[in-house]
Chains A and B, each alone.
Chain A
Amino acid sequence: MNVLKVSRWTIAAFVLPCLLLYVILVFVPIIVSFYNGMLDWNGIGTSKFVGLSNFDKMFTNDAYFWPSVRRTFLLAGFSMLVQLPIALFVAILISRYVRKTGFLVSSYFLPVILSVVVIGQLWKTIYNPASMGGMINQILIKLGLDSWTHSWLTEPKVAIYSIILVALWQYLGYHILIQFTGIQNIPADIYEAAKIDGAEGFKADRYITLPLIVPIFKISVVLSFIGSLQSFDLIMVMTGGGPAHATDVISSHMYNMSFLSMKYGYGSAIACFLVVVCLAATLFINLLFNRLDKRFS
């Protein structure tokens, strides 16, 4: 039980500044967003209440909306099915084979802390045509694979995968670090006991590391899923959603609608969709892992 008995005013002085700022700048805007989503408004002139017609248009009559949702989930899928397993594999290998882990882990982690603008521009330069000094195309030409060269960010079919690669590259180190820390927190005596019972090496990983890493793995899954849903800066920096909407995801579509096409009402409707999907996804993943947890224990 907390001991400090204080007056209401003291409590208010401690809590209110933070809470008010937070509610006004985070909760109120979301609620306003839901209302704005029902307006036909360009942000400056008079607004007209149009009910749910923005949402109706979004779901049934916007050629770019569903493709942008599909790409968002494509990124999430790649992140969860490619990036996370690789990260787990690397984390297991590091914890088994490396004695001084600091250098390796912090080197892998380095791209995570860099600004997405720097990362995006760096990779834009790497993806440039060979005539503009792009590294990948220059390597391909050196190897005699001229036919494999692409203008990676301007060909509609290739562009989204080029961006996904960068996202996977940047955050791989984050997931390695998280899962590596998780493995290190598994008590060593469990492995020793297993050794006596004859479980060593990959067998120990299968029966000890994997089940015990589930809670930490969940964190990675949530981060990668929510991160993918909110992936935004990288796309804005690298392509802005182009060419011809070929790399639009939900949030970049929302941004372009609100700030470039000046359809504030419609943009708000997309923002609401994003908020709802984020909340639903977090709930869903938590439920899923609770089940998984029960099955393992």
Chain B
Amino acid sequence: MSQSVSITVAKPVAETRRSRFTFTKGIVFAFFGILLVTQLYPLIWLLIYSLKTNEEILSGNFFALPSVWQWSNYSAAVEGGNYWKYLGNSVLVTSVTMVCVILLASLTAFAITRFRWKYGQVVLLIFLLGMMIPMQGTLLPLMIMFKNIDILNTHLSLILPYIAFQTPIAVFILSGFMKTIPQEIEESAIMDGAGVFRIFGSIVLPVSIPPIMTVCILAFINIWNEYIMAATFISAEKLKTLPFGVYSFVSQYSVNYGAIGAFLVLGALPVILIYFLLAEKITKGMVAGAVKG
């Protein structure tokens, strides 16, 4: 009996609430939709643009799909623009940097959090201080330094500063994690006769995979997209990384609009593909990087 009463009472309340909900909800979702269009439409527009002929682009029908999909724009971009060369350079520079950052930063973080010594916190503070230093301030002195030791215009002149600028956040994230590893693990490892390097290599490093992933993602996004140092320290065509390659292609082929669009799409493609695969990891990593930075 009481059940039926409660149902009859509950029903109208739920109904009015639902109807009010749908109205505001409609407005809110329309707003989300508009925002989605503004955030994504420029990219879709670029994709369509890259498949049009010059005439179609200039005709002013920006909504229209191309009548014949001009895949030749892409072959023009790949062949005329050294795409594979730039891509290879970017992969090389980024992967070497990432490996070095992880290795160096995790060694340091391990020392800061697990060794019994006085200056751990001081070292951490030094790294923290550096996070506030703008990269642009070091551009000129680094260039002179690299010129003097004769590594200007080599990949090393990119890899070294990239490592240096990624280490602070990496050390910070990793030491934050390693602090939480229980000490009993080391104690029992010492009992079993494992040395420091052994503890680091076969216990701490494997456990730290999640924060290492975060560090990887941050480093990848930052280094893969870095343009100013690449444009300042590298001048040889065959050493350019992808962002710089995109820039030089655009300034050289200023009349073939479709091919420019195609090259921009190709320039964005690697990151977008990785983003499709790892979207959630990447967004989480970027937030972790921001929050801890």
Spell out A's residues near B (CB within 8 Å).
1-6, 10-11, 13-15, 17-19, 21-30, 32-33, 36, 43, 90, 93-94, 97-98, 102, 104-118, 121-123, 125-126, 130-133, 135, 138-139, 141-142, 169, 172-174, 177-178, 181, 216, 219, 223, 226, 229-230, 232-233, 236-237, 251, 254-255, 258-259, 264, 267-268, 271-272, 274-275, 278-279, 282
B interface, CB within 8 angstroms of A: 25, 28-29, 31-32, 35-36, 38-40, 42-43, 45-46, 49, 57-58, 60, 62, 104-105, 107-108, 110-117, 120, 123, 126-127, 130, 132-142, 144-145, 160-161, 163-165, 167-168, 171, 183, 186-187, 190, 196, 199-200, 221, 224-225, 227-228, 231-232, 242-244, 246-247, 250, 257, 260-261, 264, 267-268, 271-272, 275, 279-280, 282-283, 286-287, 290-291, 293
Asked whether, in the complex, the Cβ of A216 is within 8 Å of the Cβ of B113, the reply is no
CA distance A36 to B143 in the complex (A): 13
Number of A-B contacts (CB under 8 A): 272
Q: Given contacts A104-B32, A233-B227, A282-B132, list 19 more A-B pairs with CB under 8 A.
A: A2-B114, A4-B115, A5-B116, A11-B115, A15-B111, A18-B171, A19-B123, A25-B163, A26-B133, A27-B133, A29-B140, A32-B141, A90-B35, A117-B267, A133-B257, A177-B286, A178-B290, A255-B139, A271-B140
Contact of B145 among A17, A29, A118, A267 (CB under 8 A): A29
Contact B282 A113, beta carbon cutoff 8 Å: yes
Closest to A252 in B: B136
Across-interface contacts of A177 in B (CB, < 8 A): 283, 286-287
Q: A102-B279, A125-B261 are in contact. Are A30 and B62 (CB under 8 A)?
A: no
B contact face: mostly helix, strand, loop, or mixed? helix
A131 to B164, CA, bound (A): 46
Contacts A122-B46, A133-B57, A258-B140 given; does A26 touch B268 at CB 8 Å: no
**Nearest chain B CB to A289 CB, angstrom units:** 14
Q: Which chain B positions have C-beta within 8 A of A267?
A: 140
Please determine whether A43 and B144 come into contact, CB atoms closer than 8 angstroms.
yes
| In the bound complex, CA of A107 to CA of B126 (Å) | 37
Point out the residues of chain B lying under 8 angstroms from A142, CB to CB: 60
The distance from the CB of B185 to the nearest CB of chain A, in whole angstroms, is 10
Q: Which of A17, A25, A255, A258 has the most CB of B within 10 A?
A: A25
**A18–B105 contact, CB under 8 A?**
yes
Would you call A30 and B137 a contact (CB within 8 A)?
Answer: yes
What are the residues of chain B within 8 A of A139 when measuring CB–CB?
A: 62
Q: Say which residue of B138, B161, B231, B291 sits within 8 Å of A219 (CB atoms).
A: B291
Which residues on the A side are within 8 Å of B110 (C-beta)?
Answer: 14
Whose C-beta in chain B lies nearest to the C-beta of A32? B141
Give A251 to B36 CA distance when docked, in angstroms. 32
Cα distance A90–B32 in the bound complex, in angstroms: 8
Q: Which of A2, A93, A115 contacts B271 (CB 8 A)?
A: A115
B223 → chain A closest CB, angstroms: 11
**Residues of chain B with a CB closer than 8 A to A121's CB:** 246-247, 250, 260, 264
Q: How far is the CA of A66 from the CA of B201 in the complex (A)?
A: 53
The CA-CA distance from A175 to B231 in the complex, in Å, is 28
A222: nearest chain-B partner, CB-CB: B293
Q: A29, B260: Cβ atoms under 8 Å?
A: no
Which 5 A-B pairs rank lowest in CB-CB distance, beginning with the nearest?
A: A29-B141, A25-B164, A29-B138, A18-B104, A14-B111
